[in-house]
Amino acid sequence: MTGRATEGGDQPVSPFGARILGPADQDPDRLRLRIQLLLTGALTSINVIGSAVVFTISNFVVPSEPPTTATKVALAIAVPTYVLVAAVVGVGWGTASTLRSLRWATTDTEPTEAERTRALRVPMQLTAMQLTLWLIGTVVFTSLIWAVQPARAVNTAVTVTMGAVVAAGIAYLSVEFALRPLSARALAGSTATHPRSLGVGQRMVVFWAVGTGVPVVGLMVAGLLALVDDETTLHELAIVTIVAGGLILVTSLVITLLTVRAIVAPIMSVRNAMRAVEAGDLDADVVVYDGTELGMLQSGFNLMANGLRERERIRDLFGRHVGHDVAAAAALDTGEIELGGEATIASVLFIDLLGSTAYATAHGPVDVVAMLNRFFAVVVDEVDRNGGLVNKFIGDAALAIFGEPVRKNDHAASALTAARAMCARLTEEVPEVGFGIGVATGMVVAGNVGHEQRYEYTVIGDAVNSAARLTDLAKQETGQLLAMWHTVEVASSRGDPEAAHWQRHGATVLRGRTEETALAVPKG
């Protein structure tokens, strides 16, 4: 998992949606420290936010009689004590238990399926722990207030309960955010077909309840208490409404922002990876760190990218076997494969080694294969450079076509240019064996030959036979290269300067023909 996608194709972005979470391949010790700091900061901040919500609701929202001196003294002692104890328990126990259950991730070992499942449940467990501590606080403070000032007991129960729910909602989002690197390691290599945690729809309902539903219920309770309290004035009710409305707006905004960030980050990671693929980077992937349907989307992209890489590899191998032009033409053909061919004018280059049998007798198999690879490397390089297709390798010989399957008007000149360059390079780069090169232009039939389940693209016809005959004759020539004069004439008729490099070299009757064929060799 590399997370190499970039934002807009320019700046690299964090694989987890936030730079504070670090890179995907961070050191286990650094990851442990990072997670510990993030969890400590998140859980501490959550208790502070919850306490602020309780203070605001208790003093400005829920109508009740002013606190007595005894109540103030009791709260002055109980609140700091309990908050400190709850913070120590929540932060210490929560962080320690989390890192203990996720030790496999911070020691860089492969987790079992049970460890993966426990890792993805950690956010819910820490949220449940926070909610439990707050609910215990609700019972403690309500009982305390009931003992010293019963009239404020309802106020206390309502306010602390609302703070508990808000704190729990923020806790879930914050903890899930902090644990993304560990979730990514738990989800690495998995292909989940269902959410591993709360689904997106369930999340939206829960967070609506936390950010909007519970505060609105609190406002309704405040209004109900104001109705039954004959001493509540219109001015006090207006203050209650304004403060409660503002609290609802702030709370719902915080929950919404955190929820949006949790949903948008995985989508953005997929979008950036898709841009990378669109730009041609098939190695782009996405770090899967979300256990919901969004994680399935991330995993699905990786499966798609793997399929594209595999298809590209197969296409490359196919192209190496049959030629990239033939492979491209086959890929564009959306219909059924048709056997048979099409008659056309093309140029053919045939090359065959001279003395390869003697060389193989005097050298070992490794040396023979190395020599053949150097020989064919020159052949393929020059044919490709001049827009031809090496149609097949035949032992120590090769057949190349110019003008098919991609039609080109300068096929004759291209074949002649490739032959001259090949001849010069082979003389220098593969001097231990001789060769013969023949070039011919004429009618050929190009197409698929074989069976529907196993076929190959090839060319047959007079030009192929002539090139093979010329190759045998070229082995007796000093320059080891012969071409039909007709090929030079075709190149000259199209105004190609390649024709100027050739001269006539007599004529001969090729085997299988009754008329003489005019020959050509390179000048000099």
3-state SS of 333-370 is: CCCCCCCEEEEEEEEEEEEEEECHHHHHHHCCHHHHHH
Confidence category of residue 438, pLDDT binned at 50, 70, 90: very high
Mean pLDDT of 337-364: 82
Q: Distance (Å, rounded) from C-alpha 164 to C-alpha 153?
A: 16
Task: Tell whether 507 and 371 lie within a shared domain.
Answer: yes
CA angle in degrees (0–180, nearest 5) for 153-146-235:
30
Contact yes or no for 237/60 (Cβ under 8 A): no
**More confident: 355 or 8:** 355
Domain annotation covers residue 317: no
| Three-class SS of 181-199 | HHHHHHHCCCCCCCCCCCC
Q: What is the pLDDT of residue 9?
A: 41
Task: Tell whether 345 and 245 lie within a shared domain.
Answer: no
- The set of long-range contacts for 329-336, using a CB threshold of 8 Å and a minimum separation of 24, is 329/405, 329/406
| Most confidently modeled range among 28-37, 178-187, 435-444 | 435-444
The two tokens of residue 34 are: 């990072």
Q: Distance (Å, rounded) from C-alpha 223 to C-alpha 125?
A: 35
Q: Residue 183: pLDDT above 50?
A: yes
Confidence category of residue 348, pLDDT binned at 50, 70, 90: very high
Q: Residue 195: pLDDT above 60?
A: no
Domain end marker among 257, 275, 291: 257
Task: Tell whether 243 and 363 lie within a shared domain.
Answer: no
Domain annotation covers residue 269: no
**More confident: 485 or 6:** 485
Q: What is the pLDDT of residue 336?
A: 47
**More confident: 152 or 375:** 375
Mean pLDDT of 409-424: 92
Q: What is the pLDDT of residue 57?
A: 60
Domain extent, residue 169, equals 23-188+198-257
Mean pLDDT of 439-446: 89
Q: What is the pLDDT of residue 146?
A: 84
Q: Residue 333: pLDDT above 70?
A: no
Q: Distance (Å, rounded) from C-alpha 158 to C-alpha 95?
A: 29
| Most confidently modeled range among 25-39, 78-92, 127-141 | 127-141
Q: Residue 416: pLDDT above 90?
A: yes
Task: Tell whether 361 and 250 lie within a shared domain.
Answer: no
Contact yes or no for 346/446 (Cβ under 8 A): yes
Which range among 115-124, 334-343, 433-442, 490-499 shows the weakest confidence by mean pLDDT?
334-343
Q: Residue 324: pLDDT above 70?
A: no
Domain annotation covers residue 326: no
3-state secondary structure (DSSP) of residue 243: helix
Write the Ramachandran bin of 323: left for phi over 0, alpha for psi from -120 to 50, otherwise beta.
Answer: left
Select from 184, 181, 201 the least CA-distant residue to 299: 184
Helix and strand numbers (H, E) in the chain are 17, 10
Confidence category of residue 81, pLDDT binned at 50, 70, 90: confident
Domain annotation covers residue 312: no
Q: Residue 169: pLDDT above 50?
A: yes
Q: Residue 390: pLDDT above 60?
A: yes
| Most confidently modeled range among 13-22, 58-67, 225-234 | 13-22
Task: Tell whether 236 and 361 lie within a shared domain.
Answer: no
Domain annotation covers residue 165: yes
Q: Distance (Å, rounded) from C-alpha 277 to C-alpha 90?
A: 44
Q: Distance (Å, rounded) from C-alpha 331 to C-alpha 129?
A: 58
Domain annotation covers residue 358: yes
The two tokens of residue 444 are: 């050929």
Confidence category of residue 439, pLDDT binned at 50, 70, 90: very high
Q: What is the mean pLDDT of the chain?
A: 77
User: Which residues, including other chains, have CB under 8 Å from residue 269's CB and lie 6 or more apart?
Assistant: 3, 5, 13, 15, 17, 286, 287, 298
In a 10 Å sphere around its CB, with 0-12 CB exposed, 13-18 middle and 19+ buried, how is residue 263 labelled? middle
Q: Distance (Å, rounded) from C-alpha 13 to C-alpha 3?
A: 8
157-167 core/surface letters (b: 16 or more CB in 10 A; e: else): bbbbbbbbbbb
CA angle in degrees (0–180, nearest 5) for 300-305-310:
125
| Most confidently modeled range among 215-224, 308-317, 443-452, 465-474 | 465-474
Mean pLDDT of 186-190: 68
Q: What is the pLDDT of residue 437?
A: 94
Q: What is the pLDDT of residue 1?
A: 44
Match 């399957």 to its residue by tokens.
405
Q: Residue 10: pLDDT above 70?
A: no
Q: Residue 323: pLDDT above 60?
A: no
Task: Tell whether 223 and 364 lie within a shared domain.
Answer: no
Strands 434-451 and 516-522: unpaired
Write the DSSP string, 23-74: -TT--HHHHHHHHHHHHHHHHHHHHHHHHHHHHHIIIIIS--PPPPHHHHHH
CA 372 vs. chain centroid, Å, equals 40
**More confident: 378 or 138:** 378
> What CATH number is attached to the domain comprising 407?
3.30.70.1230
**More confident: 57 or 299:** 299
Mean pLDDT of 386-401: 87
Match 């650094």 to its residue by tokens.
30
Q: What is the pLDDT of residue 6?
A: 45
Domain end marker among 257, 275, 306: 257
How many domains does the structure of the chain reveal? Answer: 2
Q: Residue 337: pLDDT above 70?
A: no
Helix residue spans in 323-452 (DSSP H): 324-332, 356-362, 365-385, 411-429
Task: Tell whether 345 and 251 lie within a shared domain.
Answer: no
Task: Tell whether 369 and 234 lie within a shared domain.
Answer: no
**More confident: 29 or 199:** 29
First to last CA, the chain: 60
Q: Residue 478: pLDDT above 50?
A: yes
Q: Residue 12: pLDDT above 50?
A: no
Half-sphere exposure of 147 (CA within 13 A, CB side): 10
Domain end marker among 257, 290, 305: 257
Which range among 118-132, 289-303, 311-325 shows the weakest confidence by mean pLDDT?
311-325
Task: Tell whether 383 and 497 lie within a shared domain.
Answer: yes
Q: What is the pLDDT of residue 236?
A: 60
Which range among 41-50, 166-175, 261-270 shows the weakest confidence by mean pLDDT?
41-50
Mean pLDDT of 214-228: 68
CA 414 vs. chain centroid, Å, equals 41
Which range among 63-72, 160-169, 252-261 shows the weakest confidence by mean pLDDT?
63-72
Match 């004590």 to its residue by tokens.
81
Mean pLDDT of 32-41: 78
Contact yes or no for 520/485 (Cβ under 8 A): yes
Mean pLDDT of 509-516: 84
Task: Tell whether 388 and 244 lie within a shared domain.
Answer: no
Q: What is the pLDDT of residue 350?
A: 94
Q: What is the pLDDT of residue 436?
A: 92
Domain annotation covers residue 71: yes
Task: Tell whether 80 and 218 lie within a shared domain.
Answer: yes
Q: What percent of the chain has pLDDT over 90?
A: 13
User: Which residues, including other chains, have CB under 8 Å from residue 337's CB and lie 6 or more apart?
Assistant: 448, 452, 455
Task: Tell whether 252 and 349 lie within a shared domain.
Answer: no
